[in-house]
């Protein structure tokens, strides 16, 4: 029966520590619940009262995005100088500068906030569920919906969703390294510990964020959210995420421009002061130059690219935990993946039971149904069971057995683990006797059988050769009431085999071909039989696939295995440690490695990979370790993600190269012109307006297509490459600026206003139109893929605005004068010659360009932050004081006085 609705008197601080020192009956009484859990309406009331089980919010916050736009020290200096200019009487220029800066900040804010909203929407689609007893029966609920008093089921691979006082434990061990730094798993039981026991020694509790390493258990929730021991640490973490290689590249590029801008600004200001120009004008001009060379909208362009890519990927059933993971996915050139559901359909069907020694097939099936570690819901289906158990229970043959199963009572469970590769139960038969039933990998079960007929081994080999998955079932008499341990799995009598079918996907061969065309090498890692894996690969056209087994991997040192990985396609009967070792050794070659897996045994490899990929139906620990979640397990979808990541990187680099060539060239021209002109070559407000129009034209870059050769292999940040590009193409831009200066002074005899107007129009046209040449490495540029319609219209529209602006009523306010028609003919000729010269330089430059390096940044505290993101919500957090940042390896701070239940810290980014 479920607990009655009653006011729950919260316990004082340190709920897990206090609960561990009390008996289970006392804890249940304190929480106003029973071993059967809460009623659904009571759980809803507690959730409303205490809020979600979360330590972070992934809600997009406008003020934070706005701060990202405003925190540039250059903008602050520019606005301060404009304010001083306003005070000393130059109010028109000051107001114009303030308006242009506001428009620039607003443009970046709108685009970046839209990207944040996209990220919030994607994050909300990633589901983390747990099995809980409500209304007296097991059901799956969202982790964030847990409340104190809920009774939670734990099984192998689960991430403990809250601080639990254990009510039962069967060989339960939890890995608590995320809390204590201790690498070895901790054995758990239900015995109370002495009062005041340290968190690391709470053997009677399973703590939030830790991982079920082996066994199973059941516990009642005593603390959640920021009041859980993990929550105290996670809530104090900075919202700043660890940088990916993509973000490191962006930061280094920004530092490069800061150095360049600093040098130019200082020198220009010094020159203008020496030439006795007005101090305020010289300062504003210098700061405007610095702002002009700084790609202010680079974050907006990157965010827009990533957000647009994430929306496209989400429509293809791919979710990313962080937008920058899309670009990391594009860096991948080796993919390790499991077989089930990736190369095969993943829709496992039970085919038949193969009995031994004339026993009826129905008996083998019945034993297989009884031997499960999961509980059944009110429809008689396992809740949260493995795919093979689900296929067995869904089969038509199982329907006829369900009525008979009610006469058997399960009395003990020894859960599955990846060392034994089997699960065992003890059941009381209808006659009152006790029977041990073991079910698992055939090799493991047959080793423990007293006698195995040779015909069985032959039948097993035939099933493997046909590509079928096989589970062996064996029994032996058991002693009633005896504890079930691994030592009991001996002298078994083989009952028979359960055969399952998981055929190859019809489109798997095409997906493998697409990945190969993208330069991604696919390698299969599976715990399945080598013959089964080889048969699936053969059916998909991988006829010459070399196979290595886990035993063969153990016989190789790292040097030999590194050499063997390149020639091997299938790694079969491998352990979790084998998978992680393969990933680690492959990364040493310098390539970026992705790992696709959804099981408990995949977590180590997912953490070791550059990009971890899991599926929404995967285990908790696999989804926690992954960077990318597939709503459908499909290599074709993954190929889309790789291509999308490379397209995004290529489009980002377009903007970067534009900023380093055109902007640098124009600012270098301004510095040179200020040496010989008796006036400023362009007013500060005109420089900022030029920069705003230019950046507006570049916001359409994320919609652009890229050439096929740019997605055939990964591309990486190379600051040396960008610097060489700037040095090569910047002077080409400056050459035409100086040509414009000559035309304005010697042909049109221009004064200050006309000179500035002419250079404004020419510089905007050249630096904006050059995107058509820089966007492709093909020469001439019109041989590349056509630019997107939004990009073409935006670029041409900005050029048109720049040409028309001097003839509008705004011209006098901005310091412009109408230009003679002959000037436009000169500009058109210069643009044509400029693009031709850029094409010539492009051929020479790319012929000599070197491949970028491939660094692998250290993971830092990535695992802790990933797990903290699991306990997050898009809603507002309930008020509670945040804790200070603390190392995850020092253990949690001693519990202080806090309110019980689900109080949450203030909003912090996850």
Active site residues: 338
d(CA 764, CA 769): 8
How many residues make up the chain in this entry? 910
CA distances from 869 to 184, 207, 340 (A): 24, 16, 28
Are the beta carbons of 362 and 315 closer than 8 angstroms?
Answer: no
- Compute φ and ψ for 507, nearest 5 degrees: -100, 10
Q: Cα–Cα–Cα angle for 625, 648, 699, nearest 5°?
A: 130
The continuous run of DSSP H or E covering 824 comes out as helix 821-848
Largest Cα separation within the chain, whole Å, is: 113
Evaluate the omega torsion of the peptide bond into residue 780 and state whether it is cis, within 30 degrees of 0.
Answer: yes
CA nearest 424: which of 414, 432, 433?
414
d(CA 848, CA 430): 81
DSSP string over 841-884 = HHHHHHHHPPPPP------TTHHHHHHHHHSEESSPPPP-PPPP
d(CA 500, CA 234): 43
d(CA 842, CA 836): 10
Are the beta carbons of 328 and 245 closer than 8 angstroms?
Answer: yes
Residue 703 carries which DSSP code?
A: G
Strand 211-223 relative to strand 205-206: parallel, antiparallel, unpaired? unpaired
CA end-to-end span of the chain: 38
CA nearest 332: which of 509, 516, 510?
516
Which residues pair with residue 434 across a beta bridge? 428, 478
Are the beta carbons of 273 and 282 closer than 8 angstroms?
Answer: yes
Tokens read off for 261 = 């801008």
Give the HSE-up count for residue 33: Cα atoms under 13 Å, Cβ half-sphere: 30
Tokens read off for 809 = 């009523």
Tokens read off for 382 = 């396992």
DSSP string over 339-371 = STTTTB----EEEEEEESTT--HHHHHHHHHH-
Tokens read off for 550 = 């886990």
């Amino acid at each position: 029966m479920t607990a009655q609705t009653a006011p729950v008197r919260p316990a004082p601080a340190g709920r897990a520590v206090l609960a561990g020192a009390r008996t289970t009956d006392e804890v249940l009484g304190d929480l106003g619940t029973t071993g059967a859990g809460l009623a659904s309406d009571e759980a809803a009331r507690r959730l409303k009262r205490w809020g979600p089980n979360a330590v972070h919010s992934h809600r997009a916050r406008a003020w934070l995005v706005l701060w990202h736009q405003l925190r540039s020290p250059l903008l602050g200096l520019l606005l301060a100088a404009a304010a001083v200019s306003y005070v000393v009487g130059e109010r028109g220029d000051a107001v114009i500068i303030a308006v242009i800066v506001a428009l620039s900040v607003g443009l970046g804010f709108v685009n970046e906030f839209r990207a944040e909203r996209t990220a919030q929407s994607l994050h909300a689609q990633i589901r983390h569920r747990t099995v809980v007893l409500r209304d007296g029966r097991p059901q799956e609920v969202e982790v964030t919906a847990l409340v104190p008093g809920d009774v939670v089921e734990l099984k192998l691979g689960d991430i403990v969703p809250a601080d639990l006082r254990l009510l039962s434990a069967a060989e339960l061990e939890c890995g608590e390294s995320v809390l204590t730094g201790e690498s070895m798993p901790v054995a758990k039981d239900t015995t109370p510990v002495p009062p005041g026991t340290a968190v690391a020694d709470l053997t009677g509790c399973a703590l939030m964020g830790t991982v079920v390493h082996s066994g199973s258990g059941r516990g009642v929730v005593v603390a959640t959210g920021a009041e859980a021991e993990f929550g105290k640490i996670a809530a104090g973490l900075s919202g700043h995420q660890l940088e990916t290689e993509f973000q490191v590249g962006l930061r280094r590029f920004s530092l490069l421009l800061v150095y360049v801008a600093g040098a130019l600004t200082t020198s220009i200001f010094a020159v203008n002061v020496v030439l006795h120009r007005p101090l305020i004008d010289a300062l504003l001009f210098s700061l405007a130059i610095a702002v002009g060379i700084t790609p202010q909208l680079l974050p907006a362009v990157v965010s827009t690219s990533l957000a647009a890519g994430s929306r496209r990927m989400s429509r293809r059933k791919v979710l990313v935990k962080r937008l920058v993971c899309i670009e990391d996915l594009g860096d991948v050139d080796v993919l390790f993946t499991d077989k089930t559901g990736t190369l095969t359909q993943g829709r496992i069907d039970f085919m038949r039971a193969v009995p031994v020694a004339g026993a009826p097939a129905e008996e083998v099936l019945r034993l297989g149904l009884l031997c499960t570690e999961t509980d059944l819901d009110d429809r008689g289906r396992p809740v949260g069971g493995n795919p093979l158990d689900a296929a067995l229970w869904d089969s038509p043959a199982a329907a006829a057995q369900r009525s008979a199963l009610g006469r058997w009572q399960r009395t003990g469970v020894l859960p599955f683990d990846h060392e034994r590769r089997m699960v065992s139960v003890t059941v009381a038969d209808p006659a009152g006797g006790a029977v041990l039933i073991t079910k698992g990998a055939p090799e493991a079960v047959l080793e423990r059988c007293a006698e195995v007929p040779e015909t069985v081994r032959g039948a097993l080999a035939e099933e493997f050769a046909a590509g079928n998955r096989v589970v062996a079932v064996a029994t032996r008499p058991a002693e009633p009431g005896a504890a079930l341990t691994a030592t009991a799995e001996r002298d078994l009598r083989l009952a028979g085999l359960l055969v399952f079918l998981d055929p190859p996907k019809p489109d798997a061969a095409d997906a493998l071909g697409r990945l190969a065309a993208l330069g991604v090498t696919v390698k299969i890692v599976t715990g399945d039989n080598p013959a089964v894996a080889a048969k699936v690969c053969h059916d998909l056209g991988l006829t010459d696939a070399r196979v290595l087994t886990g035993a063969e991997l153990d016989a190789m040192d790292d040097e030999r295995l590194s050499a063997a990985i390149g020639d091997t396609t299938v790694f079969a009967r491998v352990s979790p440690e084998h998978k992680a070792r393969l990933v680690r050794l492959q990364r040493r070659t310098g390539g970026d490695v992705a790992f696709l897996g959804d099981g408990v045994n995949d977590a180590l490899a997912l953490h070791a990979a550059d990009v971890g990929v899991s599926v929404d139906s995967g285990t908790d620990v696999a989804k926690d370790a992954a960077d990318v979640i597939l709503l459908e397990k499909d290599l074709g979808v993954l190929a889309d993600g790789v291509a999308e990541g490379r397209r995004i990187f290529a489009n980002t680099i377009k903007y970067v190269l534009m900023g380093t060539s055109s902007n640098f060239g124009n600012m270098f021209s301004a510095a040179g012109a200020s040496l010989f002109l008796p006036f400023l070559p362009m007013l500060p407000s005109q420089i900022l307006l030029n920069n705003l129009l230019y950046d507006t034209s570049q916001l359409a870059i994320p919609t652009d297509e890229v050439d096929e050769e740019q997605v055939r292999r990964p591309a990486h940040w190379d600051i040396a490459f960008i610097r060489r590009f700037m040095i090569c193409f910047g002077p080409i831009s400056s050459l035409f600026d100086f040509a414009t200066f000559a035309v304005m002074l010697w042909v049109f005899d221009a004064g200050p206003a006309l000179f500035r107007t002419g250079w404004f129009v020419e510089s905007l046209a050249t630096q904006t139109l050059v995107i058509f040449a820089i966007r492709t490495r093909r020469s001439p540029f019109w041989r590349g893929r056509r630019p997107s319609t939004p990009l073409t219209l935006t670029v041409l529209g900005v050029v048109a605005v720049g040409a028309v602006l001097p003839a509008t009523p705004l011209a006098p306010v901005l310091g412009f004068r109408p230009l003679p028609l002959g000037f436009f003919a000169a500009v058109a000729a210069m643009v044509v010659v400029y693009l031709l010269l850029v094409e010539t330089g492009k051929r020479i430059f790319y012929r000599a360009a070197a491949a970028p390096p491939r660094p692998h940044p250290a993971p830092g505290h990535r695992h802790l932050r990933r797990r903290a993101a699991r306990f997050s919500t898009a809603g507002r957090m309930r008020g509670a004081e945040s804790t200070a940042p603390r190392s995850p390896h020092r253990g949690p701070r001693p519990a202080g006085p806090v309110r019980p239940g689900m109080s949450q810290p203030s909003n912090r980014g996850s």
